[in-house]
Amino acid sequence: MSGLKVNMVNTIGEGLGLCLRLPNFYAYLNADQNLDIVAHIKKSKNDNIEEILDIVNLKHRRKSKFSTYSLGMKQRLAIASAMIGDPDVYIFDEPTNGLDPEGIAEIRSIILRIASTGKTIFMASHILDEVEKVCSDVAIIKNGKLLATGTVGHILNDIPTIQVKATDMMALENALKNMEGLTDVRNLGDLIECGISPNMKPEEVNRRLQQQNIILGHLSVKKKRLEEEFLAITNNN
């Protein structure tokens, strides 16, 4: 009965599709049979199971028993189960947990394909790189407390960071700390990192340093990652 109980959880609320962290179905049944059970529980009669299996890339394994599926295939069947009844809202709990890079990319592609049809997807995940690639909005929660919410771009502030290096690192660090338009100058040992204001270009930083006879051996620009922002927010709360 464990598979049936999980599938019943997947049907809570009309217009809602739920994909659990640990998908479970009847091990001795194939994809078609398991999805037929879900459709029966949801009282959904108009589902095109063949099309759903095609979307989650399981059409070629539809007659294989669930027990023969890899973790990624099991997760994709769970997404297919959530799609039964054509819900307007999906809730995915750690959909890429434990998957290899290929499996993660495949789940990401499926999620984006579903979202492109106008569906709303809520996704809980600790893989922040995936959140950054998939989500339009993000909420950061710690110990049940909401710390930040907004679009991914808003959370990240879209402020680029530059990393520079020169022969005289002490002179470089002092020059950067006294230069307008730069913030949070940090010496990382072999590199110095600092934030740069949106209206200031890296070329301008290089030009000003050259005026002080400081020749850069390295200059690169990177945008702050969601993981860095997440750690900064959670560590301060």
Q: Could you give the 3-state DSSP secondary structure of residue 116?
A: coil
Within 13 Å, how many C-alpha atoms sit on residue 184's CB side? Answer: 11
- Residue matched to tokens 């922002």: 229
Grade residue 148 by pLDDT with cuts at 50, 70 and 90.
Answer: confident
Cβ partners under 8 Å of residue 222, min gap 6: 160, 161, 162, 163
Report which of residues 197 and 105 the model is more confident about.
105
223 has which bridge partners?
Answer: 160
Tell me: pLDDT of 198 over 80. no
Tell me: pLDDT of 12 over 60. no
> Rounded distance, CA 44 to CA 69, Å?
25
What local confidence, expressed as pLDDT, does residue 4 receive? Answer: 34
Q: What is the pTM of this model?
A: 0.68
Q: What distance, in Å, lies between the first and last C-alpha atoms of the chain?
A: 43
Give the pair of three-digit tokens for residue 122. 């809520």
Q: Would you say 86 and 43 are in contact if contact means Cβ atoms under 8 Å apart?
A: no
Report which of residues 10 and 138 the model is more confident about.
138
What is the arithmetic mean of pLDDT over 221-229? 71
What local confidence, expressed as pLDDT, does residue 127 receive? Answer: 82
Tell me: pLDDT of 11 over 70. no
What local confidence, expressed as pLDDT, does residue 10 receive? Answer: 44
Q: Could you give the 3-state DSSP secondary structure of residue 84?
A: coil
Stated as kind and residue range, the H or E segment containing 74 is helix 71-83
What is the arithmetic mean of pLDDT over 140-158? 78
What is the arithmetic mean of pLDDT over 81-99? 92
What is the arithmetic mean of pLDDT over 186-210? 90
What local confidence, expressed as pLDDT, does residue 147 receive? Answer: 85
What local confidence, expressed as pLDDT, does residue 222 receive? Answer: 75
What local confidence, expressed as pLDDT, does residue 225 receive? Answer: 67
Grade residue 223 by pLDDT with cuts at 50, 70 and 90.
Answer: low
Q: Which domains does the chain have, with CATH numbers?
A: 2-135 (3.40.50.300), 157-235 (3.30.70.920)
